[in-house]
Structure 1
Amino acid sequence: MTVPYRDLPAGDARGVFGDDDVLGTLNLQTPEAVLSAAASIRSGKVFSLNAPMELPDPPLFDREPFRHHVFRTKMGNRDDWVDNFYPQSSSQWDGFLHISDPEIGSYNHQPPERLGVENWARRGIAGRGVLLDVERFLRTRGEQLHWHTSRPISVRELDDTRLAQGIEWQRGDVLLLRTGWWAGYLAASTEERHDVRTRHDSPGLEACAEMAEYLWDHGISAAAADNISVESMPLGTELLHHRTLVRLGMPWGEMWWLDALADDCAAEGRWDSLLVSAPWNLSGGIGSPANALALR
């Protein structure tokens, strides 16, 4: 990173990638970084990082289930449509319009009409995906992360996981954080799943300036996790979303489907892949389904 985090006024990356920039840290996914990431493809395995669209069930927050309709056209072939669909209801990206900072507004101090998710879609997302399996690492230390219990993951624990997995960060990497959220959710009772709709407690990254500094100074271009919000929930007065998504312009992915990828990484002792994602090309979009693949 050309500008260290400590030199960003109030952690605000305004102008670092240009006064009119709308891509944020995706600028770190240079052609050279993507070519380097392609070296992560060694076995030819492909992993979808997208949960079934109908999960979580019931939907979180105040969302309602979507409705899928199948019909026959006049030509006799089948067609379908979906209504009542929330793009951020399952594995998804938070776009720059998802949340605003009370002090600076939106990323790079841009007007909201310039920051729709279509900017990411037109460019595409591609880079080396690095899976840090914090849940698995902490288990080796005798600690169990519970998917439905608030537990901040510190910078030290995140980096200890990296060291244990033998990872060296490269500029433009995408952090994939596994907390075990989906594994816990899938094993949960109906009552527990309904409880998650209104009580969102879960492990995740600690919401502190030190975490934002770690991600920025290591050149992370985007971060995605298997939990509800990447950061630990319930949210406090300090939001990592403000520090990263808004002030740094770092795309934030949530509820990604990482367990199969994690199992393969653990079996091979290798934690990198080529990560590709195609966000929706929706003008003014607030977020998008992840549409993400990991190629190994």
Structure 2
Amino acid sequence: MSPSTIPKFSDLPLDKEGPYLNAWGLYGKDDELGFLNRLTDDVVKEAAKEIQTGTRISLNWPLDAQGDIPFFGRQVFHKHVYQKAPRIVHDDTWTFNTQSSSQWDGLRHFAYQKAERFYNNVTLEQITGPEATNVNGIGAWSEQGIVGRGVLLDYAAWAETQGRTHDAFQKGSLALEDLKKVADWEGVEIKFGDVLIIRSGYMQQYNRKSRDELTSLSKINPPTFFGVEQSDAVLQWIWENFSAVAGDQPSFECWPTEKDYLLHEVLLAGWGCTIGELFDLEKLSKHCKKTGRYSFFVTSEPCNVPGGVASPPNILAIF
């Protein structure tokens, strides 16, 4: 898989009877990997050259980071630690929503809303109907993981040098033009198959909020967040360059959408492009600034849950 072997953006949709910009069937009618097909052995082997010092940085927010006030009405994290008396031994059980902290959105998460179709034309009934299977489950991604070259576009750091400010908890768009300026400012080269990671500054602002402020914000319905703009230009940029996209925002894209479609629809349901959200990028940002390196080896293994919708990323950036 290379830029020369994928259809042009102008060739989309591939299924002419399907919804907007879909690439259904590109990797076969039964494919469940989507854009992860771009992470070939050769791409991963080349990405391994990014490992030069062995420094490892986690991008995982704690599973209980949002406490008892998660956004989007998601369930809170519960941990039960118990002794297995009479022995001096402990077990524990965890109960949580897979999208209440750092997460990869899987291909069962978001459909084309009007067409009611998931990736590769999978129906709602195939996922939650009486004869549902594990089709498009995130467990399919665990065998080889999400492993390759990661690129941090530190918009928050760049914006600070420009004297720009934004409210991460207000609806607003991060323009493609600015993302390209960030890449130029960092001096980072984007290569085909990269895992795109965008730091908007959400975590930084979240950590400065009081409990009362977060409680009030969590009650806004629909919630509002700053994120990547909805545009054909953004979609074409992603189509031509990346194997996965992620950020520190709760929704990756501007929320609610400013167009009549969402990036979630095209990326997840149209292309099988996983979306990472709520990644904790603060330590990564500091290390990139200190070293002047904004590319790195990234390794992530979603949980092996057949038929799962989403998963904690279990992700490390390695320099």
Q: Which amino acid counterpart does residue 60 of structure 2 have in structure 1?
A: N
Unaligned runs of 5+ residues in structure 2 are: 14-19, 128-132
Aligned to 1:159: 180
Is the 1:28–1:221 contact (alpha carbons within 8 Å) kept by the matching residues of 2?
Answer: yes
After superposition, the Cα gap between the structure-2 partners of 1:64 and 1:14, relative to the gap in structure 1 and judged at 3 Å, is: closer
> For 2:50, what is the secondary structure of its paired residue?
coil
Q: Does residue 32 in structure 1 map to residue 36 in structure 2?
A: no
Q: Which runs of structure 1 show a deviation greater than 4 angstroms over 4 or more consecutive aligned residues?
A: none
Aligned to 1:106: 118
> For 1:131, what is the secondary structure of its paired residue?
strand
Deviations 1:147-185 (A, max 9, x none): 222220111111111122112221210000100001100
Q: Which amino acid counterpart does residue 125 of structure 1 have in structure 2?
A: I
Indicate the percent of aligned positions where both proteins have the same amino acid. 34
Unaligned runs of 5+ residues in structure 1 are: none
Deviation at 1:104, TM superposition (A): 6.3
> For 2:224, what is the secondary structure of its paired residue?
coil
Q: Which amino acid counterpart does residue 130 of structure 1 have in structure 2?
A: V
Q: Which amino acid counterpart does residue 230 of structure 2 have in structure 1?
A: A
Aligned to 1:146: 167
> Matched residues in 1 for 2:84 and 2:308: separation?
30
Aligned to 1:205: 228
Q: TM-score, normalised on structure 2?
A: 0.88
> Matched residues in 2 for 1:43 and 1:228: separation?
31
Q: Which amino acid counterpart does residue 89 of structure 1 have in structure 2?
A: S
Aligned to 2:21: 11
Picking from 52, 56, 59, the partner of 1:42 is 52
CA RMSD for the aligned pairs?
1.5
Out of 129-138 and 1-10, give the one that drifted further. Answer: 1-10
| Corresponding residue pairs, total | 294
Aligned to 1:134: 155
> Matched residues in 2 for 1:5 and 1:198: separation?
39
Picking from 226, 240, 248, the partner of 1:226 is 248
Aligned to 2:307: 284
> Matched residues in 2 for 1:96 and 1:268: separation?
36
After superposition, the Cα gap between the structure-2 partners of 1:68 and 1:104, relative to the gap in structure 1 and judged at 3 Å, is: closer
Q: Which amino acid counterpart does residue 168 of structure 1 have in structure 2?
A: E
Q: Does residue 65 in structure 1 map to residue 76 in structure 2?
A: yes
Picking from 173, 190, 193, the partner of 1:172 is 193
Is the 1:135–1:145 contact (alpha carbons within 8 Å) kept by the matching residues of 2?
Answer: no
Deviation at 1:8, TM superposition (A): 1.1
